[in-house]
Amino acid sequence: MANKRELIEPHEGDRRYVRRDEKGRFDKVVDVGRSLAADRRSHAKTTVPKGQGDRGDTKR
């Protein structure tokens, strides 16, 4: 399974979810607002563990 998403804030007001590759470089970068809006628009069939929210729904 892929690495967890981590939340970074490069500067005030700019929050992003990032995944890193094996060498620690950014692999995937997504703006937080767009990511959360996309999560609300669709319902995923797949249940995933905490930190993997872009891959499916988390159990609540």
pLDDT of residue 10: 87
Contacts of 11 (CB under 8 A, 6+ apart): none
pLDDT of residue 29: 82
What are the domain boundaries of the chain? Answer: 1-43
Spatial separation of the C-alpha atoms in residues 60 and 50, rounded to whole Å: 10
pLDDT per residue as tens, the chain (60 positions): 567 888 888 889 888 888 888 898 988 888 877 766 776 777 767 777 776 666 666 655
pTM above 0.85, yes or no: no
> Where does 1-60 have alpha helices with state H?
32-41
